[in-house]
Homo-oligomer: A and B are copies of this chain.
Amino acid sequence: MNQQSALPPSTLADNIFEQLRTAIVKGELPPGSKVNEPHLSKQYGISRGPLREAIRRLEGCKLVEITANVGAKVISLNSKQAIEIYEIRESLEGLACRLAAHKASQQDCNNLRELLANHERQIQSENGQAYYQKEGDLDFHYLIVQLSGNARLFNLLCDELYHLLRLYRVQTSSSPSRPVQAFKEHHQIVDAIENSDGEMAELLMRRHIASAKATLMQQLESEKLQPNQ
């Protein structure tokens, strides 16, 4: 699937890093499970050297926790940590929206609209709804962060925090709820960006994510009553 276009030369450590990352995010390496070096090195057919380098990169992404002389464990987010991430997201995506509002061209806004239209069509088919809930929402946020023009912000959100969110969703098998409401909010956000109203765009995005956080916290409260772990 990604073998054709001239990618830069990659090392074994780079490949194994990405494979492990997707394996973790997809839940194939379950949260809390141990990262066994001999086992993985046999499974992927490489030696432990590049594998250990990959694990150290995963540690940098906060996807595993390493204890000296014990090894790496896939992180398992508790509710407190999930809320912490949402707080950071709220702040950073607000920033992204403000910047995007200042920089986005008309073409950029059209692309955002088109993305939302695609999502809407997918929602109307019942299969699509699951898709939208899973990935489509992140697509929208992804694109806005890109429009912000802040490369480090993009890296922070898209290369680190979003992976953690995906992991948490797999971990709790919770699909982001309230898709219809979220859809309205997305359109309002694009309105603000189209008007170059940075403050409004920031405000709306922060509210948008704060709502998602509130929904999450409600779920957590209800799960406390009937725990399943």
Contact = CB atoms under 8 A, between A and B. Distances in A.
Nearest to A13: B56
Copies in the complex: 2
Interface in A93-121: 94-95, 99
Interface of A, helix, strand, loop or mixed by DSSP: helix
A103 to B, nearest CB: 12
A167 to B, nearest CB: 14
Given A9-B68, A68-B10, A150 B52 contact: no
A224 interface: no
Contacts of A11: 68-69
A10 B68 CA distance: 6
B49 A81 contact: no
20 contacts: A8-B68, A9-B68, A9-B69, A11-B69, A49-B52, A56-B56, A57-B57, A57-B60, A59-B60, A60-B60, A81-B151, A81-B152, A84-B151, A84-B152, A84-B153, A88-B92, A90-B95, A91-B91, A91-B92, A91-B94
